[in-house]
């Protein structure tokens, strides 16, 4: 069997990138000598099978393992100064790779849009930092052309799809996924991040973690739209939805007001339910169905209005976190074409289709940008998006 030359320094780089334990990798079939290979000083000769097994164990592309020079590490500015509860934290490989994939899509879309004569997106940075909560909420509704009562009489899934469509129509690319690229083994952890925004004056992009409830995804999408209007990048991971600084609190409160167009009605609705002896979780769940936001976000808002206590917030938060874990465990399935379509922004798919049809974008590059592996999957994606005509 033919062997492939591999450099130990490259293997050590791959281990560092993946965060894997070499001892654990050594338990994989054929990789018992892996820790020893890492300490070698000269090139190694490994079989294709073993190198493929290493790539799978480390979740590193095969091509990266055969490089003779260790790739330079460039940390994305979005995560360089990332904090959780005001403490610096290191982003997981899954988050870093997801950001890299989205950056690649955004870079291509920006170049394509400029080539097609598109100018700057007027929503980016359109709201001054000194805007009040109610002013920011008004700008969110105005920027997305949201009518009064837009969230009523819709299911949670339909609310999210409706808002996503409005955001896309306003020039914001919205991507949604539960995993890194096409790897089912690399599920995204909603406890690490719920969404992020990659700001750009032409092609702003929002990514929403699909391992979450539709009500939480709606909140996350609106939250990141708030950041677009204020002109700031962000990785959103605040499970409390109360924010750790003034900007986050302002955006979170504006999100609630952008959905809840009549606060007096909300007060009356909550008070009436409480007067009838309903449990706080039942009240919060009922309001979540009515307004489309998470039970936790609405309980926090009720607490600010004096309708609920801090203990109520803690109770609803604990139950909400349990539901998130249940959502993650449930996973997803169904028609693969529809699943692929749900991951991608429709305008982005249309631009790629047009580029492929014109001949300016090779099929292979188009498939790579879309994250599909075959022409059959590509055709299925276009059909699911209604772009096959």
**How far from 82 is each of 124, 174, 196, 208, 308, CA to CA, in Å?**
21, 22, 11, 17, 32
Q: What is the mean pLDDT of the chain?
A: 86
167 and 118 within one domain? yes
Residue 153 structure tokens = 């009489």
231 and 116 within one domain? yes
Total number of domains in the chain: 4
196 and 100 within one domain? yes
pLDDT in the model for residue 351: 95
pLDDT in the model for residue 16: 80
179 forms bridges with which residues in the sheet?
187
181 and 108 within one domain? yes
151 and 31 within one domain? no
pLDDT in the model for residue 292: 86
pLDDT in the model for residue 152: 81
46 forms bridges with which residues in the sheet?
4
User: Residues near 292 by Cβ (< 8 Å), separated by ≥ 6?
Assistant: 151, 154, 156, 159, 215, 218, 259
- 102 DSSP assignment: H
348 and 219 within one domain? no
User: Residues near 116 by Cβ (< 8 Å), separated by ≥ 6?
Assistant: none
187 and 148 within one domain? yes
Residue 13, domain extent: 3-66
362 and 326 within one domain? no
CATH of the domain at 31: 1.10.260
Assess if residue 335 is contained within a domain.
no
51 and 151 within one domain? no
Assess if residue 36 is contained within a domain.
yes
pLDDT in the model for residue 81: 47
305 and 163 within one domain? no
How many angstroms separate the CA atoms of 116 and 355, rounded?
11
Neighbours of 94 (CB within 10 A): 19
pLDDT in the model for residue 320: 81
Helices 295-304, 280-291: crossing angle, 10 deg rounding: 110
Strands (E), 95-233: 173-177, 179-180, 183-187, 195-198, 205-209
Low-confidence ranges of the chain (pLDDT < 70): 1-2, 71-77, 79-89, 237-244, 324-334
Tens of pLDDT, residue by residue over 214-262, are 988 999 999 999 999 999 877 776 644 455 578 888 999 999 999 987 8
Tens of pLDDT, residue by residue over 40-69, are 989 999 998 898 889 888 877 777 787 777
């Amino acid at each position: 069997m033919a062997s492939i030359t591999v450099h130990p320094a490259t293997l050590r780089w791959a281990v560092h990138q993946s965060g894997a334990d070499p001892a654990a990798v050594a338990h994989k079939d054929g990789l018992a000598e892996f820790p020893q290979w890492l300490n070698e000083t000269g090139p190694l000769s490994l079989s294709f099978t073993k190198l493929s097994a290493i790539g799978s164990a480390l979740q590193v592309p095969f091509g990266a393992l055969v490089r003779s020079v260790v790739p330079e590490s460039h940390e994305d500015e979005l995560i360089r100064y990332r904090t959780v509860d005001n403490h610096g934290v290191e982003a997981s490989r899954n988050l870093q790779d997801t950001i890299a994939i989205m950056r690649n899509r955004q870079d291509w879309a920006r170049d394509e849009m400029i080539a097609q004569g598109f100018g700057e997106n007027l929503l980016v940075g359109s709201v001054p930092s000194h805007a009040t909560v109610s002013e920011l909420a008004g700008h969110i509704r105005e920027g997305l052309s949201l009518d009064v009562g837009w969230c009523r009489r819709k299911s949670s899934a339909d609310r999210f799809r409706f808002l996503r469509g409005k955001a896309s129509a306003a020039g914001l690319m919205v991507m949604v996924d539960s995993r890194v690229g096409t790897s089912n083994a690399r599920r995204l952890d909603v406890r690490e991040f719920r969404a992020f925004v990659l700001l750009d004056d032409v092609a702003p992009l929002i990514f929403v973690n699909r391992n979450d409830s539709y009500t939480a995804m709606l909140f996350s999408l609106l939250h990141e739209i708030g950041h677009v209007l204020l002109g700031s990048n962000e990785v959103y991971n605040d499970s409390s939805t109360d924010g750790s600084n003034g900007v986050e609190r302002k955006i979170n409160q504006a999100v609630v007001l952008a959905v809840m167009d009549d606060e007096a009605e909300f007060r009356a609705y909550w008070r009436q339910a409480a007067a009838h002896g309903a449990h706080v979780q039942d009240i919060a769940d009922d309001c979540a169905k009515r307004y489309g936001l998470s039970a936790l976000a609405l309980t926090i808002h009720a607490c600010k209005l004096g309708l609920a206590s801090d203990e109520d917030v803690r109770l609803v938060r604990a139950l909400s976190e349990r539901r998130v874990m249940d959502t993650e465990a449930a996973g997803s399935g169904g028609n693969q074409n529809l699943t692929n379509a749900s991951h991608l922004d429709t305008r982005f798919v249309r631009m790629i289709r047009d580029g492929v049809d014109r001949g300016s974008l090779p099929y292979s590059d188009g498939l790579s940008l879309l994250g599909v592996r075959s022409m059959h999957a590509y055709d299925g994606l276009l059909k699911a998006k209604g772009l096959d005509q």
